[in-house]
Amino acid sequence: MDHEFDEVLAGYALDAIAPEDRQQVEAHLQECERCRDIVSSYQRVTEGLLYVPEPKQPPSSLRAGLLKQIDPVYVVPGRKRAFESVSARAIGLALGLMVVLAVNVGVLLQAQRLLDQGQDALAQQQAGQTAIAIASYPSSQVAVIEEDGVRGTFVYDPDLPVGVMYVWGLQPPSEDQAYQAWLVDPQGQRVNGGLLTFSQDPGFGWLMVEAPQPIAEFISLGVTLEPAGGSVGPTGPRVLGADL
């Protein structure tokens, strides 16, 4: 017997329906066992469709590249790392040396930290002033960045080659890595947008993007995790993105 939702259940299982239709279907599924059974059977098929493409070995360089990436990548707190065993004497010597150096190094680091904070604050203030200036343009736009717990905005004027990005919730990179922004043109070419800077607040980062041409000539913005100092082209995993 035909059912009014029969025509959209397959699309629902394939995630191919409009958001407003999805809400109606989900509300209906709460009450209709028949449709739930049908959707479950479709979902078994969609799970099978994951395995239909012919398996193909990726380049061996991918494996090697991943090995380099996985150690410095941030790990959820609470995970334990396996440490290689070392001799107690070696540990004692190392600790002793650390104590001797710690005092002098600590003083130097404190002085450097104060200097860096001052410089970061100045640069952040400049970015903020730029964002305010851009926002005052009548044609200014804001692209919303949302991905896996990370939020942010990209303020820009399409006619200008500059924009300001702010992100919240992104884990600061390790010392030998950096988050790098890329502007993507309609041909898929990635143009370097610069490296994100992180403030004292954990997870808050910002960047004043300077492009070689007006932002209007790009279709999207992405952020990848790269080696410290950045890369010529994207090499690491993409962590953020927004359409422009």
Partner 1 sequence: MSSKQQPEDAVLILKVAEGDREAFLALYDRYSAKVYGLALRVTGETMTAEEVTQDAFIRLWTRAATYNPDRGRLSSWLLTITRRLAIDHFRLEARRPQTWNPSNPENALEKVADPASQSEESRWATLKFALTKLPEEQRSVIELAFYHGMSHSQIAEYQAAPLGTVKTRLRLGMEKLRREWEVEDKSI
| 34 counts as binding partner 1 under rule CB under 8 A | no
Encoded tokens for 188: 């898929």
Encoded tokens for 74: 């941030």
* Residue among 23, 37, 45, 112 that touches partner 1 (CB under 8 A): 45
SS3 letters for the chain? Answer: CCCCCHHHHHHHHCCCCCHHHHHHHHHHHCCCHHHHHHHHHHHHHHHHHCCCCCCCCCCHHHHHHHHHHHCCCCCCCCCCCCCCCCCHHHHHHHHHHHHHHHHHHHHHHHHHHHHHHHHHHHHHHHHHHHHHHHHCCCCCEEEEEEECCEEEEEEECCCCCEEEEEEECCCCCCCCEEEEEEEECCCCCEEEEEECEECCCCCEEEEEEECCCCHHHCCEEEEEEEECCCCCCCCCCEEEEEEC
Shorter beta-carbon distance to partner 1: residue 75 or 132 = 75
| 63 counts as binding partner 1 under rule CB under 8 A | yes
| 80 counts as binding partner 1 under rule CB under 8 A | yes
Look-up of token digits 């490296």: 195
Query: Site residues for partner 1, window 88-107 (CB under 8 A)?
Result: none
Distance CA 183, CA 189 (A): 8
> How many residues interact with partner 1 (rule CB under 8 A)?
58
| 144 counts as binding partner 1 under rule CB under 8 A | no
| 110 counts as binding partner 1 under rule CB under 8 A | no
Least distance to partner 1 from the beta carbon of 4, Å?
12
x/- track of binding to partner 1 for residues 113-132 (CB under 8 A): --------------------
x/- track of binding to partner 1 for residues 184-213 (CB under 8 A): x-x-x-------------------------
Contact 218, 244 (CB under 8 A): yes
| 238 counts as binding partner 1 under rule CB under 8 A | yes
| 8 counts as binding partner 1 under rule CB under 8 A | yes
Least distance to partner 1 from the beta carbon of 50, Å?
4
Nearest-5° Cα angle at 86, 80 to 92: 105
Looking at 67-75, 97-105, 110-118, 173-181, which segment touches partner 1 (CB under 8 A)?
Answer: 67-75
* Residue among 23, 34, 37, 74 that touches partner 1 (CB under 8 A): 74
| 2 counts as binding partner 1 under rule CB under 8 A | no
| 222 counts as binding partner 1 under rule CB under 8 A | yes
Question: Which residues of the chain form contacts with partner 1 (CB under 8 A)?
Answer: 6-11, 13-18, 41-42, 44-59, 62-63, 65-67, 69-71, 73-76, 78-82, 184, 186, 188, 219-220, 222, 234, 236-238, 241
